[in-house]
Amino acid sequence: MKKKSMMRTASGGFDRQAWTTVVIWLTLVSVALIFLAPLVYLVAASVKTMEDFHRYSFFPPIDRMTLSNFASLFSQMDFGRFLLNSLFVTCTTVTLQLLMASLGGYALACYRFRGQQGLMLLLLVSMMIPAPVMLAPLYELLFHLRLIDTHAGLIVPGLVNVLGVFLFRQAMLNIPMDLVHAGRVDGAGEFGIYWHVALPVVRPTIGAFTLIAFMGSWNSFLWPQVVLQSNELFTLPIALNQLVGLYNDDYGALMAGTLLAVLPVVLLFFLLQREFISGLTEGAVKG
């Protein structure tokens, strides 16, 4: 509607531009539909009965939809436990990463100290190291620490998030030093200034980093696959990978499980959407 009125009022040159916009818009919508189709399929597949699975490409008629796939996840396999395992491991990891990354970022942004430049360089280089290089020695280390097949073994080696330190440093560079000095004059301790002055200022970064860290830990596969052996400790990625092999043709349950596994990330995204986009790109665009 809006576009038509634009074209009517416009001169000849503007007309052509309006048409270009329409063509571009239609292209974007077609690509968007292709991108969304797998997601729609996922939702549809999780509410189809086994006999309807191949009959309808997407959703069956509403009276044929079922929630039995979700029910069988909890009755036939220990889906609730895997969900809780994932939530526990991820929430612990995110909280600790958040604390360490923001403290580190604060130290790098608001202080001048000996060894600062060297440390920054070291961190920057370490971001280019592919994690699988450490896989074998980490396994060895955890074996000696007796942390193989424990949740602690999943959490502790994954606590360092160098990207997080940089995100927080970038955001905290914008904190006016006067604010920090004022805090000191008021008699606040260094940690108090970090907690009461710095952290509230970088709330968007906290939001963005929470989502990034959550997704990283939630989707982690290779390390849990190496560390975990007991079924009852499995996180969702490991458990669902097993489900693919075990219930070879119970596609409905498999898709229901996948949908439930993705849901927490989606919810968190909607909660933190605004912070996420700005926080994610801030470092890259400015740096």
Partner 1 sequence: MKLNAPKVAPYVFLTPFAVIFSVFIAWPLFRSLLLSFTITSGPGAQVFVGTANYRFLLQDPDFWIAVRNTFTFVLFSLLIQVPLSLGLALFLNRKGLWMRNTLRFAFFSPHLMGLVFASILFTLLFAPRFGLVNEGLHTITFGRWSMDTRWLSEARRVMPALVMVNLWLYVGYSMIYFLAALQGVDPQLYEAARVDGAGPLARFLNVTLPGIRHVVIFVVVISTIGGFQLFELPWLLLSNTPGPEKSGLTIVMYLYQNGFVSGDLGYASAIGWTLLFLVFCVSALQLKLSGALRKENMA
Residues 59 to 118: which contact partner 1 by CB under 8 A? 99-101, 103-104, 106-108, 111, 113, 116
Interface pick for partner 1 out of 16, 143, 174, 271 (rule CB under 8 A): 143
- What's the CA gap between 33 and 230, in Å, rounded? 41
**Nearer to partner 1 by C-beta: 73 or 107?**
107
Contact in structure between 98 and 188 (CB atoms under 8 Å): no
Closest CA to 286 of 133, 121, 173: 173
User: What's the Cα-to-Cα distance from 25 to each of 2, 3, 14, 22, 35, rounded to whole Å?
Assistant: 13, 11, 16, 5, 15
Interface pick for partner 1 out of 6, 50, 120, 152 (rule CB under 8 A): 6
**Nearer to partner 1 by C-beta: 84 or 145?**
145
Torsion of CA 233, 238, 239, 245, to 10 degrees: -140
- What's the CA gap between 68 and 75, in Å, rounded? 10
138 binds partner 1 (CB under 8 A): yes
271 binds partner 1 (CB under 8 A): no
Q: How many positions of this chain bind partner 1 (CB under 8 A)?
A: 89
**Nearer to partner 1 by C-beta: 74 or 221?**
221
Closest CA to 153 of 161, 144, 162: 144
Closest CA to 237 of 211, 217, 251, 252: 217
Site for partner 1 in 144-163 (CB under 8 A): 144, 156-157, 159-160
User: What minimum distance in Å lies between the beta carbon of 153 and partner 1?
Assistant: 11
Q: Which residues of 144-166 are buried (b: 16+ CB within 10 A; e: fewer)?
A: eeebbebbebbbbbbeebbebbb
9 binds partner 1 (CB under 8 A): no
279 binds partner 1 (CB under 8 A): no
137 binds partner 1 (CB under 8 A): yes
| List of E strands, the chain | none
**Nearer to partner 1 by C-beta: 29 or 71?**
29
Round to the nearest angstrom and report the end-to-end CA distance of the chain: 41
Site for partner 1 in 11-40 (CB under 8 A): 21, 24-25, 27-29, 31-32, 34-39
Site for partner 1 in 192-231 (CB under 8 A): 194, 215, 218-219, 221-222, 225-226
182 binds partner 1 (CB under 8 A): no
User: What minimum distance in Å lies between the beta carbon of 63 and partner 1?
Assistant: 23
Interface pick for partner 1 out of 3, 4, 16, 274 (rule CB under 8 A): 3
166 binds partner 1 (CB under 8 A): no
